[in-house]
Amino acid sequence: MQRNFYDSFPITSILLLLIVGMYALEMLARFKLGGEQGPLLTFGIDGRTVIALGSSAPGHVLHGEVWRLVSCMFLHGSAAHIFMNGMVLVFVGKMCEPQLSSPRFFTSFVLCGLVSSLLGFGLSYAEAERVGILLRSPGSVGASGALAGFVGVLLVHSIRYRNVVLREFAIRWIVVIAVFSILVSNRVSIDHAGHLGGFATGCVLGIWVKPYTTSDEAARWRVPAYIAGGVVAVGLGSAVWNYFHTLASTS
């Protein structure tokens, strides 16, 4: 019997559902909070909304809301933004999750995403401090830093084991992400530091990825995966709580 997508790629499916779910909440919050109604295909989610739902706003992170470094990975600024990242997640997940094992795949996503968020936060902080908008800066959002990490994993692994198919796949997505960034750079702010941070982290992780993952090796990644799951639960739970708290204070 043919397996469905969730049975074959459970973590990819869960991450996709979380990203889509958070975007649906963003769309709801966009109207509930009365933010600017910009074009949905370009940057339809305004700064006030993404701050309420957990973007890496430097002014808030500096005041102790470090959970934003996690929640920002699951937020997106427009329909085009989430469509692009969702597409990359599906294609990269189908290649990486079986290769790494589901526990290691999930742990790697969170790790690459956190490094990406930290670098993106640093860049946002420096820019906001320079122009004097620290408390109003929304910071960055998006899963692209974590996804760039998997492209790095595939690239290094393919070079190490001379896998032409994987190398061409990785290079193809590097080109796609670069072209997309160039095309939308005149409409939205692209977190290049976050992308590079996630990619570099993935390259380092790719050094230790073997052609096949044994069941014993996958089992060793279960505890890190549980820890990563707890981190994500705290980040997203805090984001949802902060949204409803913001909504209550404005009503």
pLDDT of the chain along its 251 residues, tens only? 557 888 999 999 999 999 999 999 998 888 887 655 444 444 467 888 899 999 999 999 999 999 999 999 999 988 888 998 999 999 999 999 998 999 999 999 999 999 999 998 888 888 878 777 777 788 889 999 999 999 999 999 999 999 998 899 889 888 887 777 666 554 445 677 888 999 999 999 999 888 777 788 888 999 999 999 999 999 999 999 999 998 888 76
Are residues 169 and 160 in contact, defined by beta-carbon separation less than 8 angstroms?
no
Report the distance separating Cα 233 and Cα 94, nearest Å. 24
Sort 211 into a burial class: Cβ within 10 Å, 0-12 / 13-18 / 19+: exposed
Short-list 161, 152, 18, 171, CA closest to 96 = 152
Domains and CATH numbers, the chain: 11-250 (1.20.1540.10)
**Using the 8-state DSSP alphabet, how is residue 207 labeled?**
T
> Could you tell me the sign of the dihedral formed by the alpha carbons of 191, 27, 79, 203, in that order?
positive
- Whole-model pTM: value is 0.90
Direct distance between the N- and C-terminal alpha carbons of the chain, in angstroms, rounded to an integer: 52
